[in-house]
Structure 1
Amino acid sequence: MFKDEAKIYVRSGDGGNGCISFLREKYKPKGGPDGGDGGRGGDVIIRASVHCSTLLELIRRRKLVARNGESGKGKKCTGRSADDLVIEVPIGTIIRDDAGELVADLTEHGCEIAVVKGGKGGRGNVHFATSTHQTPREAEAGQKGEDKNLHLDLKLIADVGLVGFPNAGKSTLLSRVSAAKPKIADYPFTTLEPQLGIAELLEYKTLVIADIPGLIEGAHKGIGLGDRFLRHIERTRTLLYVLEMTPDQEKTPKESLEILQKELRSHSKVLSEKPYLIAASKMDIPGSEDVYEALSKEFDQKIYKISSVTGQGLKELLFGLFESAQNSKNNEESK
């Protein structure tokens, strides 16, 4: 089950208390103070990992508390510091606090942040001895840990975002060019959660493709599946509009494209400014060629003719997407 939002409570560990102790050994009747320091409390660390794909675990387990440090002991023994509590989240997770302020944006594998720091251990009485105060009976208490309420928001990171109406052929396309296995059926909204696939073009050339659940007109107002999943294409480098070429549709492919672009503009200005390609899907269906010819007259840019059933045009499309994504990446790096 895919989950892309979670609210959690995190608390770091308290530091251990310092120890009040005096040395008692044979031949050392007045050995002096030997109370050790307390150990440090554990931090709570959130780390991005390729091995995690959803926030579901954090929805089930909303309260995460690190262990406390151990108290100091006699013979100047320091209490054991607690291990940090590490929480793994998917790459692309954004962390915000209660006030909505950005805490971290974890965009790469291994990126991490200590969202709350463990308390320091208190000093034992050995630190309070002086020439005039040789039997100190005081020690420090360990510092308390910190706590926070956090909101986690997952935005998938991909090179290409597939955009289209339900049953436009996005899932079939993804399954054909990658090892992803999205649900495919002949009814709307078969894809109820974003799907990621990796397409291999040549050695060292790959594309991460995100299939976003189908949009319909009014999605930005909550109609259909609404705009819940549009956040996942905000990070994509390029978009692919998948338009169905089946004859006798209620809307022409051009009208479908205009509706899709309007929904993206209504959701975010960022989406409306992204580079995009257009794919004419289901070209294996009789009559699709006529629909394609009518569409191609409406646009100056190249429209890729594809069929996920026969494999027509898929290789050419992937190379076109790779070039578009690379150009977008270069533009990002030059800014």
Structure 2
Amino acid sequence: MNHGSLWERLVRGVRWSWIDERYRSALPADFDAMVMTLESRDRLHAKQGRSTARVVFHPPDQNQSGGRPLSVYLKRHFQMPWLARFSALVHPNGRYSPGAAEWAHLERARSLGVPVPDVVAIGERIGPWAGLQSYLVVAELTGCKELNEALPVIEQSMDREAFESLKRRIVKEMARISATIHKARMFHKDLYLCHFFLDLERLARDPRDVALTLIDLHRLQEHRYWPDRWRWKDLGQLLFSTEGVAGVSPRDALRFWVHYKREAGVRNPEWQARMIRLKAARYSDHNAASEPGAAERLSEPVGSAD
């Protein structure tokens, strides 16, 4: 990675990129040059100077070599705070852009033994002057589905005993993943059920083979001081996100806590569990107040008729 001199970054601007060699042949030869202007409406989500979209690349020699299309999620950041722009200009190795930061988070989690999506490519544009842009490309989790959508469908296709057995394995793996990052004083800050993806293809081959992948680590951060506060936030989010999900029961939440507190070596588990429940209740109350018409409902007299 050549970041050039401060003068080069300031006056002309520089860019750097990294591509996983396993995926290079599936990407266009000029990928780094065209990635920031590439257009895709597939699952596009764009706001406040950033965008995320699904993109499918077809290898140029697909017909001759039998190469498979590559499905990815492209995250781009076009506008950033002035402090991040200035910091990247002065210290280009600092991972101040969201793309470079999430790359570091993914690799940190992977080094801990947490299953995360493969990083296909990453790049930054630093300068000229106070310019800063970044992109991150992660491989799509083909054959996988988020747990909040997968569990209700699976429940309908399995007998009760088999489904409960499967959930026990899923819960144990979720607890292991959560405890692993927390023991390292790393906290997800978006630890919802929908960010755990279950590999349905592997499950179809072997019902005992439970493989989960944790996604969206852009907010992952280390907190050495008062880590319990961030534990309550993560696990409160997770508990809240199970509300109303078909196939998920209070027994599953209790089973998760039993595995988690053992894996993470939680002290004062009763008090910790109480704080997590309080945090989940706050999320639930906030969500209810944010629903359309909530203000009107809350202002109605108790017992009022429709």
Same fold judged by TM-score > 0.5?
no
TM-score range, shorter chain: under 0.3
Greater C-alpha Rg: 1
TM-score by length of 2: 0.24
